[in-house]
């Protein structure tokens, strides 16, 4: 199987997702700017994966900077940290990973600079390893909501490619299948840049999961026919009241699911929950270049000069979400708030399938 990202020989090795499914090529990043560029241009994408990439990018920079003290090291890393945060604003994972590195440095400020540099690399690698473990746990909780024989609709790519491995939404399907359940997936193509068509189908086929590709505008008709048993998507940022930011089009899927009585689940590692925001209206929505809409795979499909709106994400209000599935269990979106300070009794709030 492939690895979306790894730290190898003091380089960051990134699977170039912009070339999938045609070419399986890797980019060897030797400088944090290369990592930032890979994030910006969607060579690596997906909220957890870009958080990992940003941490590794800063770790890479740490190896190259000259600093004589903790303060000088933090100063020297600041441009890389700021650059990472500026790449993609909607997913909270980059900011989360940057805060994690800064906290680590501050906690260990009494160590020498060389030790701090080593700690940053170890932390970036831990973020990757922990992500895989978290995804397996999400998969275990998520699989409880998938019965034998189920057909699962997913939107965008919340699979191994979007994470350190295993995926979030996809993890639930993989665990259900490991449990012997016969589960198949329907993948929305996900315009404009076709993460569903190019990435989700590719990785599920690699994993031996039966998958059917549909155009985005087919989802409602298939739900109405009773073909889809549940929807399972990922998230770039979920906030305190349970509102969910995810790939543009997710909101439409959720509304269609409600209209047709289909449960709508969101797989969300705790690192993608932003408890500092009260509602989805506060989440910054990334706007991307017009050519993603006017072109498909480099081929122009719209007239020159046409006006374009290209919001990369939308907000699904909590009322459309059946459950948020985390590594600690599945919860009603309205109960998220109670988990904010870590004080809640998880087993009382945990949803049963
Ligand atoms: O623009 P992208 O491809 O980075 O958008 C990704 C998504 O919307 C995913 O669904 C989300 O990041 C969750 S990935 C586990």
Q: Per residue in 49-80, pLDDT tens?
A: 999 999 999 999 999 999 999 999 999 999 99
Q: Which listed residue (236, 243, 274, 314) is catalytic?
A: 236
- Atom 6, ligand 1: residue with shortest CA distance: 46
pLDDT tens digits, 90-105: 999 999 999 999 999 9
Assign domain 142-349 to its CATH superfamily: Translation initiation factor eif-2b; domain 2 (3.40.50.10470)
Domain ranges, ordered by start, for the chain: 5-135, 142-349
Centre of ligand 1 to C-alpha 255, Å, is 19
Active-site annotation holds for 236: yes
pLDDT tens digits, 289-327: 999 999 998 999 999 999 999 999 999 999 999 999 999
Global model pTM greater than 0.85: yes
Question: How far is 188 from 125, CA to CA, in rounded Å?
Answer: 32
Is the CB of residue 271 below 6 angstroms from any atom belonging to ligand 1?
Answer: no
Task: Give the model's pLDDT for residue 342.
Answer: 73
Binned at pLDDT 50, 70 and 90, residue 1 comes out as confident
Answer for the pair 305, 290: CB distance below 8 angstroms, yes or no: no
Task: Give the model's pLDDT for residue 94.
Answer: 98
5-135 and 142-349 share one fold: no
Q: Which two tokens stand for residue 338?
A: 């109670």
Q: Is 137 exposed, middle or buried (0-12, 13-18, 19+ CB in 10 A)?
A: middle
Domain 5-135 has CATH 3.40.50.300: no
Is the CB of residue 87 below 6 angstroms from any atom belonging to ligand 1?
Answer: no
Task: Give the model's pLDDT for residue 353.
Answer: 80
Binned at pLDDT 50, 70 and 90, residue 116 comes out as very high
Question: How far is 90 from 93, CA to CA, in rounded Å?
Answer: 9
Question: How far is 235 from 233, CA to CA, in rounded Å?
Answer: 7
- Atom 15, ligand 1: residue with shortest CA distance: 158
């Amino acid at each position: 199987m492939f690895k979306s990202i790894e730290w190898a020989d003091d380089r960051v090795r990134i699977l170039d997702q912009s070339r999938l499914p045609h070419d399986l090529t890797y980019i060897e990043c030797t400088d944090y700017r290369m990592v930032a560029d890979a994030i910006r241009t969607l060579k690596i994408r997906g909220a957890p994966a870009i958080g990992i990439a940003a941490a590794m990018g800063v770790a890479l920079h740490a190896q190259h900077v000259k600093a004589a003290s903790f303060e000088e090291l933090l100063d020297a890393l600041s441009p890389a940290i700021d650059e990472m945060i500026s790449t993609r604003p909607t997913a909270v994972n980059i900011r989360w990973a940057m805060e994690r590195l800064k906290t680590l440095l501050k906690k260990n400020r009494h160590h020498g600079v060389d030790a701090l540099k080593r700690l940053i690399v170890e932390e970036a690698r831990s973020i990757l390893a922990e992500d895989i473990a978290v995804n397996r746990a999400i998969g275990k909780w998520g699989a409880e909501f998938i019965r034998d024989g189920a057909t699962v609709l997913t939107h965008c790519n919340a699979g191994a490619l979007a994470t350190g491995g295993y995926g979030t939404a996809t993890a639930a399907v993989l665990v259900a299948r490991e449990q012997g359940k016969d589960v198949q997936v329907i993948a929305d193509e996900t315009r404009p840049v076709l993460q569903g068509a190019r990435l989700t189908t590719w990785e599920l086929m690699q994993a031996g999961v039966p998958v059917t590709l549909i155009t985005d505008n087919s989802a409602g008709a298939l739900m109405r026919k009773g073909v889809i048993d549940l929807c399972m998507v990922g998230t770039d940022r979920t906030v305190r009241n349970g509102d969910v930011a995810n790939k543009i089009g997710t909101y439409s899927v959720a509304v269609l699911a409600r209209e047709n009585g289909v449960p709508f689940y969101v797989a969300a590692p705790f690192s993608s929950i932003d408890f500092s925001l009260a509602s989805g209206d506060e989440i910054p929505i990334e706007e991307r270049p017009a050519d993603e809409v006017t072109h498909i795979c480099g081929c122009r499909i719209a007239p020159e000069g046409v006006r374009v709106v290209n919001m990369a994400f939308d907000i699904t209000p909590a009322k459309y979400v059946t459950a948020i599935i985390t590594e600690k269990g599945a919860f009603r979106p309205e109960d998220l708030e109670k988990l904010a300070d870590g004080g809640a009794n998880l087993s009382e709030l945990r949803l049963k399938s």
